[in-house]
Structure 1
Amino acid sequence: MRISVIGGGYVGLVSSVCLAELGHSVNLIEIDDGKVAYINSGRPTIFEEGLEEMLAKHINCNLKASSDFNSVLVSDITFICVGTPSSSNGSADLSMIKSASISIGYALRGSEKYHVIATKSTVPPGTTQDVVMPLVLKESCLKKQNIGFVMNPEFLREGRAIHDFMRPDRIVIGSDDRKAGDLVETAYSGLNAPIVRTGLTAAEMVKYASNAFLATKISFSNEIGNICKKLSIDVYEVMNGVGLDHRINPHFLNAGVGFGGSCFPKDVSALIHLAECLREDPILLRSVMKINDLQPKRLVDLLEKRIGSLRGKRVAVLGLAFKDNTDDIRDSRSINVILDLIKRGVHIAAYDPKANDSMHSIIPDIDYCHSAAEALNAADACLVMTEWPQFNSLDKEFDLMKSRVIIEGRRILSCNYSEGICW
């Protein structure tokens, strides 16, 4: 099958490589010529485990990148994988969705073959029906029977995206007609996963509801953790008992400094905005975000309680990415903590196995170290912000500290002299 993928970002690049792995001929369309050249040379523009090897396997064979939309005309399916960042009011910014839809429609002018356009980007319910469809039909000058529209949300965890694409929990396909949905289902032949068929808008809501529920589990765990902290209870023992209930399950019950990344914060905010536009009061979702916003401050307050005034102190911050196995710092809890520490006059020595450069681009005026040991040297305290597996083996490195005050925002250390934000 011939497939075009619009957008060379996280979702677009991973999807392109994995679709090529499934045997399809894939054209990745990215408007940034620099990214195009990078990808065509076999180098991914993001760090993701296994991505570089799989890209090298398929690039210039059954996968190529370009900055024009010519491949759309000869493709069977075009996947829209562009970003939908938060607007200032919390709603989803659909400008890239609109731009991609217009470009796809223009590229399809004169087409005589049936074509399916599948939205993979996370969009508010109603977007494919009310935004993508009319823009494509207007620009293409084609009749509705010549184009099928599908919503096919992605459920990729950063750091484990290749695994999640090739071994998905489910594949959700929302379509406006059976033929369009069937063609997208065929694109996933070879994957062993339940196929969930819905309408267009329901599929969009599946994505939002999934992310909102996972964010809710995290904030619930953090609130329980904050209570456990005051009772001198290990919240991880509590959540281990809770998670064994099959109605709950143990995933996303790890208490800590809160959630970040490119999905949860913006998607919950967008769902709150959508609910308010529908004159619904999303009490639970607002509470989820409030708990998450307050967790980083709890960490800094705990640090100040342990070492006194922070002004002039040297604090090692281990972990800058919002989670392990990625270099993505979008909405990382480390950002909030570092900015708070800077305001309090702290000298920061930071280290992350992959995300030093990413963080340096937005917070340049702190010390970036080449190792955890370098960051810990002569530090008055240490904050662990990301659950990188290699931090688990740290031990004698803490002897380099001026005082051994170690607070974990993510539970990863194996030493027995650290303290958790809520355990």
Structure 2
Amino acid sequence: MNISIFGLGYVGCVSIGCLAKNGHHVIGVDVSQIKVDQINAGKATIIEKDIDIIIAEQRAKGNIEATTDSKEAILKTDITIVAVGTPSSDKGHLNLNYIFKVAEVAGLAIKEKKDFHIIAIRSTIMPGTCDKFAAIVEDASGKKRNVDFAIVDNPEFLREGTAVEDYYNPPLTLIGSDNSGAAETVASLYRQLPGEVIITDLKIAEIMKYVNNTFHALKISFGNEIGNICSEMGIDSHKVMEIFCKDKQLNISPYYFKPGFAFGGSCLPKDLKGLQTLAHDLYVSVPVIDSINKSNELQITRAVDIIQHTQKKRIGFLGLSFKAGTDDLRNSPAVAVVETLLGKGYSVKIYDKHIHLSNLTGTNKVYIDHHIPHLSKLMVKDAEDLIKDVDVIVINNREQEYLDVLEKAGDTAMIVDMVRLPEAIRNKNNYTGINW
């Protein structure tokens, strides 16, 4: 396939070499004559393991060339890959000037092109950038998106120092587009590589680089704070984290990575507070760990705000415990929401088949007596009766009984979902999810 790559910096240089090695003819485009001359001389524009050898080999075979003439490059190719820089401002906003400049020159070239053209953006961009890019191309070319050209987002996940190895051994390849044909064409560039090729929506693809790298930064900071605590106690922090990473069922797994309501129960809040206290006693500052509970409290505030936004006063809760299949009310975020709503004058009713007030004992009873002392007056014995009597139904647990009741229910009461209900319910007009 004939491919043009705009930007001969880090990502562009690695891409031009690796794509050429995979059998494609690649034209590099850059405003820097120095970089263009380097590629045409068979030299890499960056220092990176193995890329210098690849560039030299592929240039010698005639699979690589470079130019400053953007129009010529686009007219000669089927796919354009955009790998120009998107540097951050001091306040964290991206400078997208280079990206949008490419959109302008691409549009002028596509104006003269008869064949359908695909533009794949590899640069790091914010959600919505591809749509703006496409609009600029339309204005400059006078042609139509998904008729004469298509936009694909194909974020790169290359690490400096191992970029060539990462290119050929990706954990996954991500492609976002609103054009299935264009997405599949770009996917064909990577089908021979290991790792799943995932085709998804544009904005999902656009945000993934930020999600990934922010989590990597969080992991480093978390590991460092654990290391600092361990160091003060003479504990081998590397052994601690080595054991931590061996748990692939909970610790290193998808289990807790599901957006939704706040955490609760007896274990997570207690142990989080215990570790914070230990750090405090050791005079070790742990801002990442200290912020976890603050974030959790904000999720409870978010739930209250969503309920208030309905402007309804009669609220029904399906499920009160912190987790489905249990009667544990300790630190249940739903209890905190109910307590807040009662304080604001709301009428609240609750149904939870697992909670029998006469059976509550110990710390579970002490907790609920402190936060909702008159819980017995709020509880109802039948879920269907609750639904008939309220204007807003808050789903706090994913119990099959609640799903069955909601499927039978009409659209009179608003549904506020904390657990991500099935799609059939999410598609109702009276439905709101906490963060989806």
TM-score where L is the length of structure 1: 0.58
1:180 partner letter: A
Q: In the alignment, what sits opposite 1:64?
A: 65
State how far apart, in whole Å, the 1-side matches of 2:180 and 2:190 are: 16
1:7 aligns with 2:34: no
State how far apart, in whole Å, the 1-side matches of 2:43 and 2:140 are: 34
Q: In the alignment, what sits opposite 1:226?
A: 228
1:152 aligns with 2:167: no
Q: What is the identity percentage for the equivalent residue pairs of Structure 1 and Structure 2?
A: 39
1:140 partner letter: S
Mark the CA change 1:285 to 1:120 in structure 2 (over 3 Å): closer, same or farther. Answer: farther
Q: In the alignment, what sits opposite 1:258?
A: none
State how far apart, in whole Å, the 1-side matches of 2:240 and 2:81 are: 43
Q: In the alignment, what sits opposite 1:79?
A: 81
State how far apart, in whole Å, the 1-side matches of 2:38 and 2:77 are: 23
The correspondence of residues 114-153 of structure 1 with structure 2, limited to 5 A, is 114-129=116-131, 131-144=132-145, 145-153=147-155
Mark the CA change 1:103 to 1:38 in structure 2 (over 3 Å): closer, same or farther. Answer: same
State how far apart, in whole Å, the 2-side matches of 1:285 and 1:152 are: 33
Aligned residue among 177, 197, 200 for 1:198: 200
- Partner of 1:232, secondary structure, is coil
1:126–1:201 contact (8 Å) kept in structure 2: yes
Q: In the alignment, what sits opposite 1:310?
A: none
Q: In the alignment, what sits opposite 1:410?
A: none
State how far apart, in whole Å, the 1-side matches of 2:153 and 2:291 are: 29
State how far apart, in whole Å, the 2-side matches of 1:113 and 1:285 are: 55
State how far apart, in whole Å, the 1-side matches of 2:39 and 2:115 are: 29
Distance apart, 1:102 and its partner CA: 1.0
Q: In the alignment, what sits opposite 1:42?
A: 42
1:45 partner letter: T
Q: In the alignment, what sits opposite 1:95?
A: 97
1:84–1:97 contact (8 Å) kept in structure 2: yes
State how far apart, in whole Å, the 1-side matches of 2:76 and 2:36 are: 20
Distance apart, 1:201 and its partner CA: 0.6
Structure 2 portions without partners, runs of 5+: 254-286, 293-436
1:121 partner letter: S
1:174–1:198 contact (8 Å) kept in structure 2: yes
- Partner of 1:4, secondary structure, is strand
State how far apart, in whole Å, the 2-side matches of 1:134 and 1:284 are: 40
Mark the CA change 1:285 to 1:201 in structure 2 (over 3 Å): closer, same or farther. Answer: farther
Distance apart, 1:150 and its partner CA: 0.5
The correspondence of residues 377-388 of structure 1 with structure 2, limited to 5 A, is none
Q: In the alignment, what sits opposite 2:311?
A: none
The list of structure 1 runs, each at least 4 consecutive aligned residues, that deviate by more than 4 angstroms after superposition, is: 283-288
- Partner of 1:59, secondary structure, is helix
State how far apart, in whole Å, the 2-side matches of 1:5 and 1:286 are: 45
Aligned residue among 239, 242, 251 for 1:240: 242
Distance apart, 1:65 and its partner CA: 1.2
Residues 183-240 of structure 1: CA distance to partner in whole angstroms, max 9, x if unpaired?
1112223223201111111101122111111111111101111111211222111111
Mark the CA change 1:238 to 1:42 in structure 2 (over 3 Å): closer, same or farther. Answer: same
2:173–2:196 contact (8 Å) kept in structure 1: yes
State how far apart, in whole Å, the 1-side matches of 2:208 and 2:117 are: 24
Q: In the alignment, what sits opposite 1:21?
A: 21
2:173–2:198 contact (8 Å) kept in structure 1: yes
Q: In the alignment, what sits opposite 2:215?
A: 213
The correspondence of residues 15-414 of structure 1 with structure 2, limited to 5 A, is 15-59=15-59, 61-69=62-70, 70-129=72-131, 131-144=132-145, 145-246=147-248, 247-249=250-252
2:51 partner letter: L
State how far apart, in whole Å, the 2-side matches of 1:188 and 1:147 are: 21
State how far apart, in whole Å, the 2-side matches of 1:30 and 1:45 are: 11
1:212–1:285 contact (8 Å) kept in structure 2: no
- Partner of 1:108, secondary structure, is helix
Distance apart, 1:285 and its partner CA: 12
Distance apart, 1:286 and its partner CA: 12
Residues 316-375 of structure 1: CA distance to partner in whole angstroms, max 9, x if unpaired?
xxxxxxxxxxxxxxxxxxxxxxxxxxxxxxxxxxxxxxxxxxxxxxxxxxxxxxxxxxxx
Distance apart, 1:88 and its partner CA: 2.1
State how far apart, in whole Å, the 2-side matches of 1:230 and 1:217 are: 20
Structure 1 portions without partners, runs of 5+: 251-282, 289-423
State how far apart, in whole Å, the 2-side matches of 1:215 and 1:162 are: 22
State how far apart, in whole Å, the 2-side matches of 1:236 and 1:192 are: 30
State how far apart, in whole Å, the 2-side matches of 1:84 and 1:285 are: 31
Q: In the alignment, what sits opposite 1:306?
A: none
1:172–1:197 contact (8 Å) kept in structure 2: yes
Mark the CA change 1:248 to 1:33 in structure 2 (over 3 Å): closer, same or farther. Answer: farther
State how far apart, in whole Å, the 1-side matches of 2:288 and 2:142 are: 44
Q: In the alignment, what sits opposite 1:347?
A: none
- Partner of 2:81, secondary structure, is strand
Deviates more, 1:241-250 or 1:218-227: 241-250
1:216–1:285 contact (8 Å) kept in structure 2: no
State how far apart, in whole Å, the 2-side matches of 1:286 and 1:98 are: 40
RMSD: 2.0
Distance apart, 1:35 and its partner CA: 1.2
Residues 63-92 of structure 1: CA distance to partner in whole angstroms, max 9, x if unpaired?
111111111122111011011111121111
Mark the CA change 1:149 to 1:31 in structure 2 (over 3 Å): closer, same or farther. Answer: same
State how far apart, in whole Å, the 2-side matches of 1:188 and 1:31 are: 28
1:101–1:136 contact (8 Å) kept in structure 2: yes
1:26–1:64 contact (8 Å) kept in structure 2: yes
State how far apart, in whole Å, the 2-side matches of 1:227 and 1:94 are: 41
Distance apart, 1:284 and its partner CA: 6.8
TM-score where L is the length of structure 2: 0.56
